[in-house]
Structure 1
Amino acid sequence: MLAALALWLRHGVLEAGLLPRDCTAADAPALACLFKQAFVHSFLDQRIGWVSLAAGVLAFVRASRGLAWAGWLCGVAGLVLYSYDPAAVGALLALLVLVRPHQQHGQGQGEAGEQPGDRLRVGRLA
């Protein structure tokens, strides 16, 4: 859904010329010029991609699902809006956090000293 919105904004609004070309003209609509300036500056110098990368790295380091969602959404938008390199890495790091099983606070994975295969109920081979 976000990718479709970003594609529509890129091709259907910005590149189609629906926004004013010259915002310095006296008769240019102020709200449309403000939107155009904010939209263009979001991907100028790959800013949205760098935001995705920063959020993805922080989400991966801190295991924060909120930051992971921010990194994923900015990454998807960045892939459409000219920020391919940092947005791809940020989106993938965020996706790694999002696909991890969600753990509740206060509940551990197991008891201390438990081995990863202990719950499989498979006897030792040796």
Structure 2
Amino acid sequence: MSRNNSQECGVRAIVVGAVVVLALALGARYGLIENGVLPRDCTVPEAQARAGLCAVKWTLVQMFHAQRLGIFSLVCGVLAFALGCRRLAWAGWLAGLAGLVLYNYDYAAVGALLALLVLAAGGKQQRQAEA
């Protein structure tokens, strides 16, 4: 009988997902927000011509305004931990990583860690169920 490598694949997926989300969040933070690519004031007539960039800026600001991204990560992480749901754990983990980069570190850190506990334990629980 061949050995099941679900633990290795699970860890690999967690790391690859983390790297992709961190790259996107860091690109948004340092490439768009702090680099001055987006217009500062979207109410002036000069910025109205660049409405697409104003929409991108509004979307980014709304993600981390009032800790929305961090609270989403925390809710997903708590629910995933309580219910053992891996889909919620993935949402909490990835949103938590983005929240850590995009100024939502208070709630995002707790949500990401709770979600990571569920993701890390998922492979072990599946192996025990198979045995």
Smaller-chain TM-score bracket: 0.7 to 0.9
Distance 1:23 1:12 in 2: 19
Task: Tell me which of 27, 30, 34 is aligned to 2:46.
Answer: 27
Where in structure 2 are there 5+ consecutive unaligned residues?
1-19
1:77 aligns with 2:77: no
Normalized per residue, the structure richer in helix is 2
| 1:26 Cα deviation from its structure 2 partner | 2.5
Higher RCO, Cα 8 Å, sep 6+: 2
Please state whether the residue corresponding to 2:41 is helix, strand or coil. Answer: coil
Distance 2:103 2:52 in 1: 24
CA root-mean-square deviation: 2.1
| 1:84 Cα deviation from its structure 2 partner | 0.9
Distance 2:85 2:51 in 1: 38
| 1:31 Cα deviation from its structure 2 partner | 1.5
Runs of 4+ in 1 over 4 A off after TM superposition: none
Distance 1:14 1:90 in 2: 24
Report percent identity of matched pairs. 56
| 1:46 Cα deviation from its structure 2 partner | 1.2
Q: TM-score, normalised by structure 2?
A: 0.76
**Which residue of the partner structure matches residue 30 of structure 2?**
11
Instruction: Please say which structure displays the higher CA radius of gyration.
Output: 1
Where in structure 1 are there 5+ consecutive unaligned residues?
111-118, 120-126
Distance 1:109 1:65 in 2: 16
Corresponding residue pairs, total? 109
